[in-house]
Amino acid sequence: MPDKIQSPKGTHDILPPEARRWQVAEESIRKMMDIFGYGEIRTPVFEKSELFARGVGETSDIVSKEMYTFSDKGDTSLTLKPEITAPVIRSFIQHNLGKKSPMTKLYYIDHAFRQERPQAGRFRQFHQYGVEAIGSHQPEMDVEVISLATESLIALGLDGLTLKLNSIGETKSRKKFRKALKTFLQPHFNELSEASQKRFEVNPLRILDSKNLEEQKLLQDAPNISEFLDDNDKAHFSDVCEGLTQCGIPFELDSTLVRGLDYYTRTTFEITSTALGAQDAVCGGGRYDGLVETLGGPSTPAIGFAAGIERILLCLESKNESTADSQIQVYFIAHGDVAREIVIPLIHASRQIGVQSDFDPIRRSLKAQFREANRIGAEFAVIIGDSEIQAKEAQIKNLETGDQMSIKFDDLGGYLASLQI
């Protein structure tokens, strides 16, 4: 017998009933996006590699270490998208969306790919939802995006959330801070990890993201980026904080929060959950006012966020909560050959009126059919056997309470329709 083929490392199959949990989560996300006035965008699963080199940054871990890249028959370098903001901005530019409206608000529910070490809630193929609000540099846009991030997570059932907030300023402010940070770190260069030593030259701000305990201790005495913001940056960040306060959205200031991608400017934020361990982030985002221009479009401000769906569902599992409702309302149980012939048109009619219905297609015993009805979480059983056929009525059993009643075949459709909420 040939060896079984397993799924690749870092990927996983989503099987029922888990897939139903995903569907319920996605429905909640779409509902929230509609409330905030965002339209859905879907981009290709792969893009030209240049998009991520220019958009995310050649020195970022994503581009330098984690991308799945290949060449097509025309020798064009293509990459399975490792993040979704750059493809959305590419599409925004390509389709001239900025000329159709001064403000473009988009959302996505999509998957991405990174060659990183798999761990709890983190996979090499993973799923995210997020938004890109393109066209406004005003602080109220930051407040809306952060509000949408928090409200969408709460609607999904998460609690124990903490919003962390920072501003890394515009280019001039960051250059000053970068110089001061390098000056501070230079005497300690040999104490830095190999990864941080590489970042020291290409992007020293990323060292602030270090999870190394010794480096975290060292960075406690590092310069604070807030001291290097110019007046415009300070005013913008102050207005963002004030707007969040007015909306009743609590937050913590975190001067080490720079995010892992090179395109961020000014506001950066992250939302963490107590349901996760050390890697506790479920959502992150920020402003990227230079990305549209970097990718060949006109100078256009923008802000967005992305949230990991696997990590959100992991949080809900840790609370012993499920986002899924029972799929099957009614399970038809047939006892005997004649009963099976009657059940087929009855279940067809039941489905036509929108009742979630199922039956046993492998002709198991009456006891086994009841077990199956309970296993799948059906609310009601419709039981038909010889005596029911003779009386031209079905037995309806509430599988939660055990209550049972008789319904004429002719009245069955109307009764089942009344069960729908």
Q: Does residue 203 lie in a domain region? A: no
**Residues 114, 79 share a domain:** yes
* Amino acid 298: pLDDT: 96
* Amino acid 323: pLDDT: 47
- Domain count for the chain, please give it: 2
Q: Does residue 147 lie in a domain region? A: yes
Q: Does residue 118 lie in a domain region? A: yes
Q: What tokens appear for 280 in the block?
A: 């506790």
Burial group, residue 8, by CB count within 10 angstroms (0-12, 13-18, 19+) = exposed
**Residues 163, 129 share a domain:** yes
Distance of CA 208 to the CA centre of its chain: 25
Residues 182 and 200: their CA atoms lie apart, in Å, by 7
- For 270-291, write each residue's pLDDT tens digit: 999 887 766 788 999 999 999 9
**Residues 145, 279 share a domain:** yes
- Helix segments in 53-158, DSSP class H: 61, 85-94, 97-100, 139-155
Q: Does residue 277 lie in a domain region? A: yes
* Amino acid 260: pLDDT: 57
> Do the Cβ atoms of 115 and 123 come closer than 8 Å?
no
**Residues 85, 160 share a domain:** yes
**Residues 362, 303 share a domain:** no
**Residues 357, 294 share a domain:** no
Q: Does residue 379 lie in a domain region? A: yes
Residues 183 and 203: their CA atoms lie apart, in Å, by 14
**Residues 276, 348 share a domain:** no
DSSP string, 348-373: HHHHHTT--EEE-TT---HHHHHHHH
Q: Does residue 197 lie in a domain region? A: no
**Residues 104, 240 share a domain:** yes
- The tens place of each residue's pLDDT in the chain, 421 residues long, gives 889 999 999 899 999 878 989 999 999 999 999 999 999 999 999 999 999 999 887 767 788 789 999 999 999 999 999 999 999 999 999 999 999 999 999 999 999 999 988 776 678 999 999 999 999 999 999 999 999 999 999 999 998 899 999 999 988 888 888 888 888 988 888 888 887 888 888 778 878 877 778 888 888 888 888 888 999 999 999 999 999 999 999 999 998 887 656 688 999 999 998 877 667 889 999 999 999 999 999 999 999 999 999 999 988 886 655 544 456 789 999 999 999 999 999 999 899 888 989 999 999 999 999 999 998 889 999 999 999 999 999 999 999 999 999 999 989 988 888 876 4
Domain coverage including residue 337: 330-418
* Amino acid 278: pLDDT: 64
DSSP string, 225-280: GGGG--HHHHHHHHHHHHHHHHTT---EE-TT---SSTT-EEEEEEEEETTS-SS-
**Residues 373, 294 share a domain:** no
**Residues 398, 284 share a domain:** no
Residue ending a domain, choose from 295, 318, 341: 318
* Amino acid 318: pLDDT: 66
Residues 130 and 284: their CA atoms lie apart, in Å, by 9
Q: Does residue 219 lie in a domain region? A: no
**Residues 355, 263 share a domain:** no
Specify the CATH number for the domain of residue 32: 3.30.930.10
Residue ending a domain, choose from 273, 293, 318: 318
Specify the CATH number for the domain of residue 386: 3.40.50.800
Residue ending a domain, choose from 284, 318, 352: 318
**Residues 140, 35 share a domain:** yes
Q: What tokens appear for 79 in the block?
A: 């990459």
Distance of CA 371 to the CA centre of its chain: 35
Q: Does residue 192 lie in a domain region? A: no
Q: Strands, DSSP E only, in 19-82?
A: 39-40, 46-48, 68-71, 77-80
* Amino acid 188: pLDDT: 86
